[in-house]
């Protein structure tokens, strides 16, 4: 059974029809990359998955549990929303670390507030996560003391701390200087090696090619092409071909 | 009693009593206006339009009219219109009326500072909390509040130092604060009359008090400089 089923997602902002019938499934441990030009609906799709936006139509099913159903008109209560959001983690383009907390506290904040684990255990796990992104030695630093690449690696550790089923990345390297993208991509790659289920919105074509099991190309709110990484070598659709030549 | 040395202990004693009343009004105003301002700012940011409109109109009226006028109306309105001394008589009645006027007035100013501080926190901070599964309350108290506080320290210190001096407006309803106490020696009190120096001396109290507050806020700002917003 697929870990994620997305069925016929439609979303408009006023007259702007941003998502027009998005369908896809994702298997446990798979990496899906979503590519496409800006305005094609990639970010909106991720935000719908994370319940930051609500689609107008369609269904989102995680592990067999329907977490969104557009045919149900009732808005979910805050408690329900909090539960739904725990299925997903989201790493933002501009990190959004909490500036007033140290690196360690950024990672431990949510587990301390939402789980019943002891503080020692939460901190031990947080340190393991920071170790895995190579920043255990920065645990007592504040975000303003870190480079962009380091901040994004902390943000990844923070997202992992709530043990999401699916980790989403919204252009994780777009706000970084070119020489800093490598360290972040390396961390994402190591997660792929450990079979973390991930959805990555990215403009890094060669990275998407290397790390993905499946690639979706979005254009004008629809999935214009999909397939294995090979579709980047031999694009099946003209629109994808045109998009790729712009790189 | 004509020599300064003779006058000084009497004046000093009287000004201290007046300054205590000034301090009391200052403290009570802050205690009331700081939390009330937060409630008003939430009201003005409410997504329920009638509420936010109503609150914004109230804030406009309170900020758009002189505090002295508000003091006069709040103090005299119940007695003159309903024939009922709502605030009670004497000094304690004047103090309660002053406190109500000051708290309402300052809460409106604070609410706008809070609103700016809250709306200045990037929406991404809230979203980062949401995707981690935090509740709205947790997001406000654990994420937004501290960043808002850092943002509002400079405008709040400005407003609070203004409050130190504004307390003297309560003189208009004869609250016996420090200006009232100093002025008494001009008109004649305790055998001293026609003395202007006690009024100058009240200025020293204000200067020292606002100086202490300036130092305090500088210290707070420094304490919060470990992070950037």
Whether chain B has a CB inside 8 Å of the CB on A85: the answer is yes
pLDDT at B141: 95
Residue A141 lies in a domain: no
Residue A203 domain-assigned?
A: yes
pLDDT given at position B1: 59
Q: Which of A59, A21, A19, A22 is closest to A40 using CA atoms?
A: A19
What is the residue extent of each domain of chain B?
4-226
Q: Residue A8 region, left (φ>0) first, then alpha (ψ -120 to 50), else beta?
A: left
Q: In chain B, which residue's Cα lies nearest the Cα of A94?
A: B124
Q: What is the pLDDT of residues A11-29, one digit of tens each?
A: 999 999 999 999 999 999 9
Minimum distance, in Å, between the CA of residue B214 and any CA atom of chain A = 24
Q: Closest residue of B to A143, CA-based?
A: B227
Q: How far is CA A183 from CA A99, A218, B163, in A?
A: 22, 27, 52
Distance from CA of B68 to the nearest CA of A (A): 40
What residues in B contact A143, CB-CB < 8 Å?
227
Alpha helices in B83-177 (DSSP H): 90-120, 123-131, 136-139, 145-166
Residue from A162, A171, A185 nearest A107 by CA: A162
Q: How many CB pairs under 8 A join A and B?
A: 62
CB atoms A86 and B143 under 8 Å: no
- Helix B90-120 × helix B67-82 angle, to 10°: 130
Q: How far is B219 from chain A (nearest CA, A)?
A: 17
Pick among A44, A98, A156, A172 to test the B interface (most B CBs inside 10 A): A98
- What CATH number matches the domain at B4-226, 1.10.3720.10, 3.40.630.10, 1.10.3080.10, 3.40.50.620? 1.10.3720.10
* Structure confidence by residue, pLDDT tens digits, A201-227: 999 999 999 999 999 999 999 999 999
Return the bridge partners of A82, or none: none
Per-chain mean pLDDT for chain A? 94
| Chain B positions in Cβ-Cβ contact with residue A159 (cut-off 8 Å) | 131-132
Nearest to A100 among B130, B138, B147 (CB): B147
* Domain presence at residue A115: no
A159 and B131: CB-CB below 8 Å?
Answer: yes
Q: Number of C-alpha atoms within 13 angstroms, CB side, residue B187?
A: 6
- Mean residue pLDDT of chain B comes to 94
Q: Is the dihedral of CA B135, B136, B140, B143 positive or negative?
A: positive
Under a CB-based contact definition with an 8 Å cutoff, are residues A115 and A122 in contact?
yes
Q: Is it the case that residue A146 has pLDDT exceeding 80?
A: yes
Whether A82 sits inside 8 A of B122 (CB atoms) is no
Mean pLDDT of A130-158: 96
Q: If we measure between CA atoms, which residue out of B16, B12, B43 comes closest to residue B176?
A: B16
Window 89-108 of A: residues touching B by CB (8 A cutoff) are: 89-90, 92, 94, 96-100
The band of B82, judged by pLDDT with boundaries at 50, 70 and 90, is confident
Residue A89 lies in a domain: no
pLDDT 10s digits, A85-143: 999 999 999 999 999 999 999 999 999 999 999 999 999 999 999 999 999 999 999 99
**Do the Cβ atoms of B124 and A97 come within 8 Å?**
no
Cβ within 8 Å, pair B132-A162: yes
- Judged by a CB distance cut-off of 8 A, whether residue A10 touches chain B is no
- CA neighbor of A152 nearest in space, from A174, A136, A137, A122: A174
Q: Of A44, A50, A46, A47, whose CA–CA distance to A13 is shortest? A: A44
Pairwise CA distance, residues B25 & B97, whole Å: 11
With respect to residue A129, please indicate whether it lies within any of the assigned structural domains.
no
pLDDT at residue B190 tops 80: yes
Q: Is A152 on the interface with B (CB under 8 A)?
A: no
A81 three-state secondary structure:
helix
Query: Could you tell me the two tokens for A219?
Result: 């254009």
Using the Cβ of A169 and the Cβ atoms of chain B, whether some distance falls under 8 Å is answered with: no
Which domain, by its residues, includes A46?
Answer: 1-84+198-247
Task: Report CB contact under 8 Å: A100, B134.
Answer: no
pLDDT-based confidence at B106, cuts 50/70/90?
A: very high
Number of folded domains in chain A?
A: 1
pLDDT score recorded for residue A119: 94
| pLDDT tier, A76 (very low <50, low <70, confident <90, very high otherwise) | confident
């Amino acid at each position: 059974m697929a870990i994620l089923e997305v069925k016929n997602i439609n979303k408009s902002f006023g007259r702007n029809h941003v998502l027009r019938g998005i369908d896809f499934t994702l298997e446990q441990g798979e990496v899906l990359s979503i590519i496409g030009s800006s305005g094609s609906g990639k970010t909106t799709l991720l935000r719908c998955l994370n319940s930051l936006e609500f689609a107008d139509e369609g269904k989102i099913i995680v592990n067999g549990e329907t977490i969104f159903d557009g045919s149900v008109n009732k808005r979910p209560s805050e408690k329900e929303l909090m539960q739904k959001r725990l299925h997903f983690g989201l790493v933002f383009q501009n990190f959004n670390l909490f500036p007033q907390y140290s690196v360690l506290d950024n990672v431990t904040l949510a587990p301390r507030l939402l789980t019943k684990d002891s503080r020692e255990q939460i901190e031990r796990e947080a340190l393991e996560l920071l170790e895995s992104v190579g920043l255990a030695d920065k645990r007592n630093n504040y975000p303003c003391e870190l480079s962009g690449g380091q901040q994004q690696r902390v943000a990844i550790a923070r997202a992992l701390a709530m043990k999401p089923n699916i980790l989403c990345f919204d252009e994780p390297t777009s706000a970084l200087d070119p020489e800093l993208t490598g360290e972040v991509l390396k961390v994402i790659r190591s997660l792929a090696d450990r079979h973390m289920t991930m959805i990555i919105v990215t403009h890094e074509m060669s990275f998407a090619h290397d790390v993905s099991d499946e690639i979706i190309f979005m254009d004008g709110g629809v999935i214009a092409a999909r397939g294995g990484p090979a579709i980047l070598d031999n694009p099946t659709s003209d629109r994808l071909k045109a998009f790729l030549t712009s790189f | 009693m004509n020599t300064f040395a003779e006058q000084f202990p009497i004046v000093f004693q009287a000004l201290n009593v007046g300054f205590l009343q000034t301090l009391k009004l200052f403290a009570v105003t802050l205690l009331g206006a700081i939390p009330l301002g937060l409630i008003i700012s939430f009201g003005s940011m409410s997504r329920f339009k009638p509420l936010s409109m109503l609150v914004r109109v109230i804030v406009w009226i309170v900020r758009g009219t002189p505090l002295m006028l508000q003091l006069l109306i709040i103090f005299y309105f119940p007695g003159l219109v309903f024939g009922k001394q709502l605030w009670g008589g004497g000094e304690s009645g004047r103090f309660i009326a002053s406190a109500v006027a000051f708290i309402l007035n300052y809460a409106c100013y604070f609410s706008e500072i809070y609103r700016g501080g809250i709306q200045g926190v990037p929406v991404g901070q809230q979203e980062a909390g949401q995707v981690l599964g935090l509740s709205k309350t947790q997001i406000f108290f654990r994420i937004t509040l501290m960043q808002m506080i850092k943002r509002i320290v400079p405008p709040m210190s400005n407003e609070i130092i203004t409050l130190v001096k504004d307390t003297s407006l309560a003189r208009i309803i004869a609250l016996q604060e420090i200006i009232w106490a100093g002025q008494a020696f001009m008109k004649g009190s305790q055998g001293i009359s026609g003395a202007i120096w006690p009024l100058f001396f009240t200025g020293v109290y204000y200067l020292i008090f606002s100086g202490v507050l300036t130092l305090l806020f500088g210290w707070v700002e420094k304490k919060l400089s470990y992070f950037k917003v």
